[in-house]
């Protein structure tokens, strides 16, 4: 006696092959680094030392600084310094 044969099932469809992904090559950073301290950090340090010197002189010497008269001058001077530093930073050649 022969066994009945069953029809073959169709093969499962093959999984789609993934599309190739574009690879990004690493480009090394070739910019030159600035030697020495950053100019803004130096200017900020000098400003802090000036304020500390004024505070020390006022505390030890009994000198009083009238901030009502000289405060706006200091504020405008600090703003002018920041503007000049910003303009110098814009004019600086970036490599």
| pLDDT, tens digit, 9 for 90 and up, residues 24-73 | 787 777 777 767 788 778 888 888 898 888 888 888 887 777 778 888 88
The CA distance from 29 to 31, in Å, is 6
pTM: 0.41
DSSP for 9-45, please give it. PPPPPPPPPPPPPPP-PPPPP-PPPPPS--HHHHHHH
Comparing 92 with 55, the larger pLDDT belongs to 55
The CA distance from 3 to 6, in Å, is 9
């Amino acid at each position: 006696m022969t066994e009945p044969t069953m029809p073959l099932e169709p093969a499962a469809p093959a999984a789609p092959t993934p599309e190739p992904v574009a690879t990004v090559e690493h480009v090394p950073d070739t910019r030159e680094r600035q030697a020495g301290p950053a100019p803004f950090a130096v200017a900020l340090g000098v400003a802090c030392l000036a304020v500390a010197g004024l505070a020390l002189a006022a505390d030890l010497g009994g000198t009083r600084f009238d901030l009502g008269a000289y405060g706006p001058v200091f504020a405008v001077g600090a703003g002018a310094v920041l503007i000049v530093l910003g303009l110098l930073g814009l004019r600086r050649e970036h490599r």
